[in-house]
Chain A
């Protein structure tokens, strides 16, 4: 899985995740998301190295929900 989108519980966690991943060389961007089941929120689009990036988020206990994979 190279590219994926994860829904973040808040803007704060989205930025925290973005900073963490970018510092480790994973290209990613925050996107406003209104299409989730719970309503509006923020997503993180991880453009490559998704599997390893998600493992990094897990390691730092950053909560997220995988909403779209592929690529």
Chain B
């Protein structure tokens, strides 16, 4: 039996309600949403709207500003390239995933924007200050992860959002690791929230969200069919269709709606408490193993993710041995080179990330396996 402790990459298993919603969509929602006026198409369109409405409510947004994407990377690319279209200065944090760092670096390399990286510290006030110091008159946007996908560190995003508001700068939030385990709402100063549907929101893979408060325009970098104004060769600019060219992933969207409803029913507080308890127990179990370093700092807050290294054992090698023993953990750089450079983890880390379905006893037995692997290596 395989035990998944790589839920930060994608949650598995999915709740039964999510699987049922996807099955139902595959069986009954065969029309193409927003395309055509026949009964099948209209039924799918209505279902997609109901998902938009339900998800918008969860994040304090309007249905028409809730855009379905393929994943968080897709959403972030559209947000970054769309807001920075026409140039300007962009600030990102030193904890960003490559889904932010790469499009930002590419725009900078093409000299279409100027780019600054704000250092993140365990001390929130220093982090906020590092963003504030980088603000310039031509700063157009800040992109900041709400929680690091490497260490799980929660960034002081509400304070960073406030700095953005003071400067009239668009605050783009990467909620991939925070949504579903903490309450995230546009009312807390986020202008554009990008998140994955398949992680803490428990939707199927191939789902993501871009949710705007409508205050900053997003140039559509992907253009095509929207089901409306087809004779006009210019892309419609109204959300959500402006950013949803092409056929939508209806089974995915319906699964995401069910996933969000599952999270709301369960409660983010309860999910956070459960997963954090599993993490705490895991940390307690491994912290006395010689050579284990847990990447957590005094004073910082974390979502339920634990990154660690074992002295003398490359992370990929340790993860491979754990996989042989039936435990699935992600090793390496987690597509976040900036973060690893900032943390000084030049060989990467092994990442432990539970879900609401994870059991403490499995975390304890995983720690025992790690202890055994380390002991055998040190013989």
Contact = CB atoms under 8 A, between A and B. Distances in A.
A15 B231 contact: no
Interface in B229-265: 229-232, 236, 238, 240-241
B interface, size bucket: 20 to 34
Nearest to A11: B34
Interface string B29-52: 000011011100010011001001
Nearest to B238: A9
Contact of A10 (B38, B42, B46, B241): B241
Interface of B is mostly: loop
A39 B52 contact: no
B291 interface: no
A62 B284 CA distance: 55
Nearest to A32: B37
B362 interface: no
Interface of B: 33-34, 36-38, 42, 45-46, 49, 52, 63-64, 226-232, 236, 238, 240-241
A10 B226 contact: yes
B88 to A, nearest CB: 27
B236 A40 contact: no
Interface string A8-49: 011111011000000000000011110011111110000000
A15 B228 CA distance: 14
A10 B232 contact: no
17 contacts: A10-B64, A11-B34, A11-B227, A13-B64, A13-B238, A15-B45, A15-B46, A16-B64, A32-B38, A37-B231, A38-B228, A38-B230, A38-B231, A39-B229, A39-B231, A40-B228, A40-B230
